[in-house]
Amino acid sequence: MKFVDEAYIDVSAGDGGAGCVSFRHEKYKEFGGPNGGDGGRGGHVFAVADENLNTLVDFRFSRRHDAQRGQHGMGSDMFGAAGDDITLKMPVGTIITDAETGDVLFELLKPGEVITIAKGGDGGFGNLRYKSAINRAPRQKTPGWPGEKRNLKLELKVLADVGLLGMPNAGKSTLITAISNARPRIADYPFTTLHPNLGVVRVGPEQSFVVADLPGLIEGASEGAGLGHLFLRHLQRTRLLLHMVDMAPFDDAIDTVAQAKAIVNELKKYDKKLYDKPRWLVLNKLDMVPKEERAALVKDFVKRFKYKGPVFEISALTREGCEPLIKAVYQHISAQQKIETAPEVIDPRFPAGVDPI
């Protein structure tokens, strides 16, 4: 399936049906009175977060979505039927913005969440509504109200706990294959990964987290070079970034420290909040380095990179060092979740919303 993380659609809710002017005509009833019913409500346009979808490709081929209009009112006190609603299924993590103003309208963050993106118009009043003691034969009616019409931009940001970033061929796809159920394409040339891949990492019973593998970044990605800049948005909702570095490049002339610094600079240029996220260093492909040289190589890299955070030495191909990595990641994610879901402690001595200072 083609991965599409951006689409534009036009949605139109149904117009309300018009009210009816009608009078009762029955034998032996000289003054039947009004009996024109109201028009029906126009159909709404809903959006639902479907956890089985992971792309917006369906909306690339069907841009316009119109709900049914309400039925007009009729005589004999008959009100018009409401128009049929339509429901658009979207992936979890979809952001819905107004294409004209750029304002964010909705975010689908929970599976099964349903929102109304366009409301149908109310039906018009029939002359039955205007009957009174002094207006025995009203001829007033109102047309139906128009439904909402919107031009929307859909943007998908995948919901993952951990994001993998690094240069092309750093081993990100190999790692996600080794630790999760994802099976991305793997080859010995750059930019094998063309779209994000999500994998669920099982740490233990009822212990898991979601990891996202993105296309490799290169210097200048924030300005449009390579493919990674198209998918940096998917890292914005992660709780932790794993910066993977190829410690055994094909070309000995490649400066791995300069490449790692370039990745960090691209994050800073793209989004300061993304740059400030917790970021761990994962040194990969150490199975290709002689054991007696590994410690010195790692120490030299960390010193030149001027990095003071957690460092993990792994081989995604042989799975060496992967188990300690995923356990440490899960502990970090669990701690973050507890902080985010912890109830706010309110001092009973002060009213809510009042600063004690």
Asked whether residue 291 is marked as a ligand-binding residue, the answer is no
Of 127, 121, 120, 119, nearest in space to 38 by CA = 127
The pair phi, psi for residue 270, each rounded to 5°, is: -75, -50
Asked whether residue 169 is marked as a ligand-binding residue, the answer is yes
Asked whether residue 184 is marked as a ligand-binding residue, the answer is no
Asked whether residue 286 is marked as a ligand-binding residue, the answer is yes
Asked whether residue 62 is marked as a ligand-binding residue, the answer is no
> Please, are residues 282 and 312 in contact by the beta-carbon 8 Å criterion?
yes
CA–CA separation, 136 vs 130, rounded Å? 9
Asked whether residue 215 is marked as a ligand-binding residue, the answer is yes
> Please, are residues 144 and 122 in contact by the beta-carbon 8 Å criterion?
yes
Asked whether residue 173 is marked as a ligand-binding residue, the answer is yes
Greatest Cα-to-Cα distance within the chain, rounded to the nearest angstrom: 111
Of 156, 150, 152, 153, nearest in space to 67 by CA = 150
Instruction: Kindly report the number of other CB atoms within 10 A of residue 88's CB atom.
Output: 20
Asked whether residue 108 is marked as a ligand-binding residue, the answer is no
Residue 186 Cα distances to 43, 169, 176, 213, 256, angstroms: 47, 9, 11, 12, 21
Asked whether residue 234 is marked as a ligand-binding residue, the answer is no
Q: Indicate the SS3 state at residue 279.
A: strand
Asked whether residue 214 is marked as a ligand-binding residue, the answer is yes
Asked whether residue 297 is marked as a ligand-binding residue, the answer is no
Asked whether residue 151 is marked as a ligand-binding residue, the answer is no
Asked whether residue 252 is marked as a ligand-binding residue, the answer is no
Asked whether residue 316 is marked as a ligand-binding residue, the answer is yes
Asked whether residue 187 is marked as a ligand-binding residue, the answer is no
Asked whether residue 166 is marked as a ligand-binding residue, the answer is yes
Task: Identify the helix (H) or strand (E) that includes residue 336.
Answer: helix 322-341
> Please, are residues 47 and 37 in contact by the beta-carbon 8 Å criterion?
no
Binding residue positions: 166-173, 191-195, 213-216, 284-287, 315-317
Indicate the annotated binding residues for GTP. 166-173, 191-195, 213-216, 284-287, 315-317
Q: Would you list which residues are annotated within the binding site for Mg(2+)? A: 173, 193
